[in-house]
A and B are shown apart, each in its own frame.
Chain A
Amino acid sequence: MTRAVLIWAGLAAALVVPVVIAAGSPFLQWRSAVYIAAGFAGIVAMGLLLVQPLLAGGYLPGLTIRFGRRVHVWVGIGLVGAVIAHVVGLWLTSPPDVVDVLLFRSPTPFSDWGVIAMWAVFAAAALAAMRKKLRLRPRFWRFWHLSLASVVVVGSVVHALLIEGTMGTVSKVVLCALAVAALAKAIWDQRPRTWRVRR
């Protein structure tokens, strides 16, 4: 029971604290509502990246793995929506900068990582949407969904860490570290049988 409370409280803190700190950023006073919303969409997306492996791996106490995976689908849709809101909001704020980013000719290296993560999250979601229709074999499906998820998390973490934005440094690093750890745990628990036999 205590453990369950601690895990849920820890998750809530990891998701809420970065948003609260960003809400106090001095940069906000020099930004329009659209630009601010675009930034927060990015922060929310970063938080959802932590939630996804926890749901998929069934690590959240009180949730059955079945229910957790159904929520995973909805959080995945929310994640795609947050990424789209992030990019559209930035595009409205400064179209030429976002066009450069999408064409990989931006002067800022972090934006390339963001674009790679964006395409990977779209691909992971598309693969999930077509999984049943294409009758993907479980091993094929798992390998590609997890591979794309890894690109999403690593790309987003590098993207976020290199940016000087509204997020606080400590809460950003903690959220990024937790997202990487959750992904690593989920991948480790999904490792192919062949690895397990050898061990």
Chain B
Amino acid sequence: MTAELHTRRNLLLTGAATVGAAGFLMPARAAGLAPTPTMRGGANNYQPGAAIVDRIGGGGFWMNGTVRRAGDGAPLPGVRIQIWAHTTEGYESDARSHGATLTDANGAFRLEMPQIVPAFGQPHAHLAYDADYDDLGFETVFLRPIMPSSRDTSLDAHFVLKPV
């Protein structure tokens, strides 16, 4: 951790280069990028270990996002992200509503799933980065993003992971 702090400028340069190459619009603020905290209720109805799938159910809705490292903002490839929600095809607690995907070389993930419908008062999704499923050395994070409109057919959620 301390070593990282000393070389933050170098990391910023490499990080910014990688991020720039990946086409993301976040150059200068990458240094000191704060980790994403787990959101309230984020872990509700989580079922650890859902399979990595090409698509959850029949699809039609897109869950998009990125995974980066706290501090330098470097994109993290190959990170397993699990996604679940109350959709047109099932409850959050139904196993068929769960699926996982891996981030690509640019730290981005994109998983098709059934349309999310409002449940418990808000149209929302759940996403997990669970440290138990890899040896990358980051802390577990659960997100619970809300759709700006229940008519939306996609939703973005971004992870900034904190090294343990």
Contacts and interface: CB of A to CB of B under 8 A. Distances in A.
A94 B40 contact: no
Interface string A97-115: 1001000011110110000
A111 B43 CA distance: 18
A36 to B, nearest CB: 12
A190 B43 CA distance: 48
Given A97-B44, A100-B40, A100-B44, A108 B91 contact: no
Nearest to A96: B44
Contacts of B92: 94
A140 interface: no
B123 interface: yes
A107 B121 contact: no
Interface residues of B, number: 22
A107 B121 CA distance: 11
Contacts of B42: 107
B121 A30 contact: no
Secondary structure type dominating chain B contacts: loop
Contact of A164 (B91, B93, B123): B123
A107 B144 contact: yes
Interface in B105-163: 117-123, 144, 150
A106 B40 contact: yes
A27 interface: yes
Interface string A154-185: 00000000111100000000000000000000
- Find the residue from B91, B117, B119 having the highest chain A CB count within 10 A: B119
A163 B123 CA distance: 10
B39 interface: yes
B40 A163 contact: no
A94 B117 contact: no
B45 interface: yes
Contacts of A105: 40-41
10 contacts: A94-B44, A96-B41, A97-B41, A97-B44, A108-B120, A108-B121, A110-B121, A164-B118, A164-B123, A164-B150
Interface of B: 39-45, 86-88, 91-93, 117-123, 144, 150
